[in-house]
Structure 1
Amino acid sequence: MTSYLTTPSGVRLAYEQSGGTGRPVLALHGAFGRGRPFLPLADRLGPGWRVIAPDQRGHGNSDRAGDYGRDAYVEDTAAVIEQLDLAPCVLVGHSLGGVNAFQLAARRPDLVAAFVVLDAPAELPPHSSDWLDTLPATYASLDEMRRVLADRVTIGDPRHFLESAVETDDGWRMRWHPDDIRETKRHIFGEYWADWTASTQPALLVRGGASVIVDADVADRMVAARPDTRLVTVDGGGHDFYLSHREQFHDAVADFLETL
């Protein structure tokens, strides 16, 4: 069941929950994504944990917004934790959500007990989003959307994008707007070493062994630069290993939580 909250900046965010009544895990999806694919993590963690998975601004069932800068995303995450009384919680963030997670841990340590970063680097060079311009606004069918994405998505798993598919009277479309994604991407490119090393909570970095976003050298440097940080590499996994290698992803998170 989808619930909603409104942040202090006036953005309505959708979220879903799964699991028991135990300690909270707040799962933050990446750009183009949605929160709901992270709900099955609760089954692996057991009744001692519950997973809360919001759709971030401009994604899923949440509102579009006028600001897609770093502060806006981090403040949204803080608002979810505060309004749902989750503090201090464990953050699990993929890509965009991973950067949001470690930035919040640095800025608001009172809200974050520990965090897991899924294929999100401390330095992210710009890469082109021009392929967005080649996507149709609507598709005649879900199969057509699947074929187009399989042909044009060069980074990530097409299933990551299909989570945002919705059927309308005019055909199938994405829940996100390309302009919002471009703004999100424009603000996330850069170096975040100061944020990465500014917190002291236990942390886990999980990277895909075949990832083109977090290579082995960057991952090693991230772990070396920050105390109490572990590294797990998902063999054969790409950027969206949370879908393609779900069992390994779930096991990595569960093993880490057992150490807290």
Structure 2
Amino acid sequence: MKLFFREISSEGQPLIIIHGLFGFSDNWVTFAKQLTDNYRVLLIDQRNHGNSPHSDIWDYEAMAEDLREFIEDLQLENPIIMGHSMGGKAAMEFAIRYPSMLEKLIVVDIAPKSYPLHHQKIIAGLESLDLKNIKSRQEADKQLEKFIPEFGTRLFLMKNLARDKEGNFKLKMNLPVISQNIANVVASISEGAHFMKPTLFIRGDQSDYILDSDFDLIEDIFSDVEIETVENAGHWIHADKPQELLNIVKDFID
């Protein structure tokens, strides 16, 4: 699949940043612009998200193959790959399948394990949107609020609202496929995985996505790994503590 991408800078070692579930490349533009002095920064939209094509197939194997095709098409050599949440798992899956195709791996606030399903309210809220009759983003926000009380989460989700050719609102993401296959996103990466190149895991201390009890699993799979914790940050570390995240990433990649 030919993924949509944004090239933030064109010089230096390639650095690919991969967004998480319900997101797209735009979420990471501000962060990426601070890495352009030394790196060719590329932000991708994963399948069924943003401006990338939609597909009925949606799992980490497919996402890893999309990333392989992207790297081969652009003839990227020794890229550093950084992924947040779902993007972190896609990056892990790619790294264990194609270890020779990257130099370093950065995983932001996700572990290689399986998780319980926990996106049902968000999906229900998005499915409840009366897109044909909504006239403004304010109306969409009021409808989402019935399911999602957190304003920041609603604001993040509403970035997916766009207009179709008739001027009606639509969602950029492929919500039906995401809803039907959400179990694939909370699944673990492939069993028997192992990756020996430098790897960095970053977690927020207020997030429960990477627990202390996950460290043994991470270290079993990633033999050359560092694990860093950002204080006063939740799951969206790049929004909560962007400078602290930037400092950790720069220290690792430089």
TM over 0.5: yes
**Kept in 2: contact 1:44–1:254 (CA 8 A):** no
**Offset of residue 81 of structure 1:** 0.6
Query: 1:133 — aligned with what?
Result: 124
**Contact preservation (8 Å) 1:123, 1:193:** no
Letter in 2 for 1:13: L
Sequence identity, in percent? Answer: 22
How many pairs were matched up? 246
SS in 1 for 2:52: coil
Number of the residue aligned with 2:76: 86
Q: Are 1:212 and 2:208 counterparts?
A: yes
How far apart are the structure 2 equivalents of 1:102 and 1:201? 12
Q: Structure 1 residue 151: deviation in Å?
A: 5.6
> What per-residue deviation string (whole Å, max 9, x for no partner) do you get for residues 150-201 of structure 1?
6634798444323322134454332113222224422133333746x51111
Partner of residue 16, structure 2: 26
Take 1:191 and 1:242, find their aligned partners in 2: how far apart are those partners?
A: 23
In the aligned structure 2, how far is the partner of 1:49 from the partner of 1:122?
Answer: 27
Quote the Cα distance in structure 2 between the aligned partners of 1:184 and 1:241: 26
* Structure 1: gaps of 5 or more residues: 1-6
Asked if 1:174 corresponds to 2:171, the answer is: yes
Counting only pairs closer than 5 Å after superposition, residues 237-252 of structure 1 correspond to structure 2 as 237-252=233-248
Q: 1:152 aligns with which of 147, 151, 154?
A: 147
Q: How big is each residue's C-alpha offset from its partner over 1:19-54, in whole Å with a ceiling of 9 and x where there is no partner?
A: 240000111111111012223334322421021111
- Match of residue 4 from structure 1: none
What is the aligned partner in structure 1 of residue 95 from structure 2?
Answer: 105
Distance change >3 Å, CA 67–CA 52, structure 1 → 2: same
| Native 8 Å contact 1:56 1:62 kept in 2 | yes
The structure-2 alpha-carbon separation of the partners of 1:99 and 1:92, relative to structure 1 and needing over 3 Å to count, comes to same
Question: Letter of the aligned partner of 2:224 in structure 1?
Answer: D
Give the Cα–Cα distance (whole angstroms) in 1 for the partners of residues 146 and 240 of structure 2.
Answer: 18
Q: Does 1:189 align with 2:186?
A: yes
The structure that is strand-richer by fraction is 1
| Alpha-carbon contact 1:234-1:248 (below 8 Å) kept | yes
Please tell me the root mean square deviation across aligned C-alpha atoms, in Å: 2.4
Look up the SS of the partner of 1:50 in the other structure.
Answer: strand
1:203 maps to 2:196: no
- Structure 2 length normalisation: TM-score? 0.86
Q: Secondary structure at the match of 1:206?
A: strand
3-state SS of paired residue (1:133) = helix
Match of 1:3 in 2: none
How far the C-alpha of 1:127 sits from its partner, in A, is 1.2
Q: 1:175 to 1:46 in 2, by over 3 A?
A: closer
- 1:94: how far off? 0.8
TM-score, normalization by structure 1: 0.84
Alpha-carbon distance between aligned partners in 1 of 2:241 and 2:140, rounded to the nearest angstrom:
23
Report how far residue 143 of structure 1 moved: 2.8
Gapped runs of 5+ residues in structure 2?
A: none
Task: Determine if contact 1:29/1:55 at 8 Å carries over to the other structure.
Answer: yes
